[in-house]
């Protein structure tokens, strides 16, 4: 028995890297078209085509136009699953190919899936409910439940690729995708798996959720110019624009990635997760949860605030969120806040809800990998009284980038933050663990 000061717990933590990226977005399907679109400032927001929006306060969205699931996945499977699952599976397939895992023999028992969604199969739910009211209970088929469940996307990806490791599907509103990636990171970090497919998917451009979001008066009503409606941090912003899509990334333990000579985009080095415990829709006015989640992610990554060169902001284009997020960044980063580059890709693709954190993480990884920062389009008049930061606007910028941050804040007060570091191939390849 010993006495005196306690000895701090020390744990080996496996390093985790990003080796594959797959996305389905309003400006492109696949990593390359998505990234090229972001850097060029392409706009994926227009008047809704999936239903008649004439009676809605907001009438625009970031849709995946002309998407035919049968062109991407098995026709029978496409018929048996919802649109959000289609997006997830296409993204996962693209990520597997990008990581060269589609042709690499790996142990499926050591590979898992964490893919979440904020709403799940809402389009299936609406169609089934309409049939129930019109034709009675016998019109509702047995597949409705499996099409609707939030975990169906993760399960379909697991089944398709024979991934028998950890499986889950978080649902934390707008931070879902980032939370999923953070959870997968923790699994790899402690050595419980070698590979994780992780991200988020959403297909909520549908009358019921759309009407409810309209009722919150949180969405833009710039219906006469939808391409200019999403304008994060701009003085004339009037609300967010809903989008749909998915993002799935391949995370691997560094030693496993090196063993198979995998392509490595960047290292995922830190994760933070906090709650506001304040309100179901509004952010805590002082940004306490946002501040703490950024501080947690930095501490987890073992780096100083001054090491971050870029923040891929949550940046929804709502009055409250943009103001609160800006204040939180200034509090965490102090004088360094004015040297940060900040942008929000929601200006181009809209708010992908449960998929947003995953797609934005993918963009952050590509920024760190390439040294290019996508712009915040439609940012025309700085909000000098509330958003006093260096926003990348109009055109993409190049920067020497060692580390960046992607942050997501969701309804109900959920906050998630991910820190990405540039991976240097000259690193000591035997040093695949870090101590904490």
Element (H, E) at 114: strand 111-116
pLDDT of residue 426: 63
Q: How many CB atoms lie within 10 A of CB 305?
A: 17
CB 231 within 8 A of CB 237: yes
Reported residue count of the chain is: 436
Q: C-alpha distances in angstroms, 218 versus 53, 316, 395? A: 17, 10, 27
SS3 state of residue 113: strand
The angle subtended at Cα 259 by Cα 257 and Cα 265, nearest 5°, is 25
- Which CATH fold topology does 14-422 show? Peroxisomal Thiolase; Chain A, domain 1 (3.40.47)
Which tokens go with 240?
Answer: 């967010």
Q: How many CB atoms lie within 10 A of CB 191?
A: 14
Query: What is the rounded distance in angstroms from the CA atom of residue 360 to the CA atom of residue 345?
Result: 7
Burial class, 138, CB count within 10 angstroms (exposed 0-12 / middle 13-18 / buried 19+): exposed
Q: How many CB atoms lie within 10 A of CB 32?
A: 14
Closest by CA position to 373, among listed 400, 339, 335 = 400
Cross-strand bridge partners of residue 23 = 247
Query: What is the rounded distance in angstroms from the CA atom of residue 284 to the CA atom of residue 308?
Result: 24
Please state the separation of Cα 165 from the chain's center in Å: 22
pLDDT of residue 38: 98
Which pLDDT tens digit goes with each residue over 375-423? 999 999 999 888 889 999 999 999 999 999 999 999 999 999 999 999 9
Which tokens go with 256?
Answer: 């496993």
pLDDT of residue 386: 84
Q: Please, what's the b/e burial string for 200-214 (b: 16 or more CB within 10 A of its CB; e: otherwise)?
A: bbbbbbbbebbeebb
Sign of CA pseudo-dihedral 133, 60, 372, 417: negative
Element (H, E) at 346: helix 346-349
Residues of the chain predicted below pLDDT 70: 1-11, 426-432, 434-436
pLDDT of residue 434: 66
pLDDT of residue 7: 43
Which pLDDT tens digit goes with each residue over 247-260? 999 999 999 999 99
Closest by CA position to 249, among listed 75, 407, 92, 14 = 92
Longest CA pairwise span in the chain (Å): 75
Cross-strand bridge partners of residue 382 = 234
- Please give the sequence-ordered ranges of beta strands (E in DSSP) within 213-327, or none if there are none: 245-253, 266-275, 310-312
CB 111 within 8 A of CB 163: yes
Query: What is the rounded distance in angstroms from the CA atom of residue 372 to the CA atom of residue 319?
Result: 28
Please state the separation of Cα 74 from the chain's center in Å: 26
DSSP 347-370: HHH-B-GGGHHHHHHHHHHHHHHH
pLDDT of residue 436: 57
CB 200 within 8 A of CB 24: no
pLDDT of residue 2: 41
Residues annotated as catalytic (active site), given as ranges: 174, 314, 351
Query: What is the rounded distance in angstroms from the CA atom of residue 42 to the CA atom of residue 138?
Result: 46
């Amino acid at each position: 028995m010993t006495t005196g000061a306690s000895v701090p717990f020390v744990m080996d933590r496996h390093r985790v890297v990003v080796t594959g990226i797959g996305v389905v977005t309003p400006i492109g399907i696949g990593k390359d078209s998505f990234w090229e679109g972001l850097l060029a400032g392409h706009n994926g927001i227009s008047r809704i085509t999936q239903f008649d929006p004439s009676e809605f306060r907001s009438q625009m969205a970031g849709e995946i136009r002309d998407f035919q699931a049968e062109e991407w996945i098995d026709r029978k499977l496409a018929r048996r699953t919802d649109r959000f699952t289609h997006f997830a599976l296409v993204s996962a397939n693209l990520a597997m190919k990008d990581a060269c895992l589609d042709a690499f023999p790996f142990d499926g028992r050591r590979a898992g899936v964490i893919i979440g969604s904020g709403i799940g199969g809402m389009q299936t739910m609406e169609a089934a409910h309409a049939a129930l009211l019109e034709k009675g209970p016998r019109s509702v088929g047995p597949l409705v439940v499996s099409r609707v469940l939030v975990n169906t996307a993760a399960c379909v990806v697991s089944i398709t690729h024979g991934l028998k490791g950890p499986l889950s599907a978080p649902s934390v509103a707008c931070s879902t995708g980032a939370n999923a990636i953070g959870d997968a990171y923790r699994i790899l970090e402690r050595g419980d798996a070698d590979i994780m497919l992780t991200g988020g998917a959403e297909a909520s451009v549908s009358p019921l959720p759309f009407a409810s979001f309209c009722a919150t008066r949180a969405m833009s009503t710039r219906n006469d110019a939808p391409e200019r409606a999403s304008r994060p941090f701009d003085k004339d912003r009037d609300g967010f624009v809903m989008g749909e899509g998915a993002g799935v990334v391949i995370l691997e333990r560094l030693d496993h990635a090196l063993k198979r000579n995998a392509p490595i985009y960047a290292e995922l080095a830190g994760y933070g997760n906090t709650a506001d415990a304040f309100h179901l829709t509004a952010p805590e006015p002082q940004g306490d949860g946002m501040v703490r989640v950024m501080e947690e992610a930095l501490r987890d990554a073992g780096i100083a605030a001054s090491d971050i060169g870029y923040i891929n902001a949550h940046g929804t284009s709502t009055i409250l969120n943009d103001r609160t997020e800006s204040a939180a960044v200034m509090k965490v980063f102090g004088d360094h806040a004015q040297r940060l580059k900040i942008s929000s890709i929601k200006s181009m693709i809209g708010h992908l809800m449960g998929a947003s954190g995953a797609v934005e993480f993918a963009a952050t990884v590509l920024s760190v990998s390439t040294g290019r920062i996508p712009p915040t389009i439609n940012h025309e008049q700085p909000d000098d009284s509330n958003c006093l930061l260096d926003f990348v606007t109009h055109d993409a910028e190049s920067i020497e980038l060692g580390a960046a941050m992607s942050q997501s804040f969701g309804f109900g007060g959920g906050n998630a933050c991910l820190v990405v570091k540039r991976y240097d191939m000259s690193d000591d390849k035997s040093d695949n663990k870090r101590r904490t």
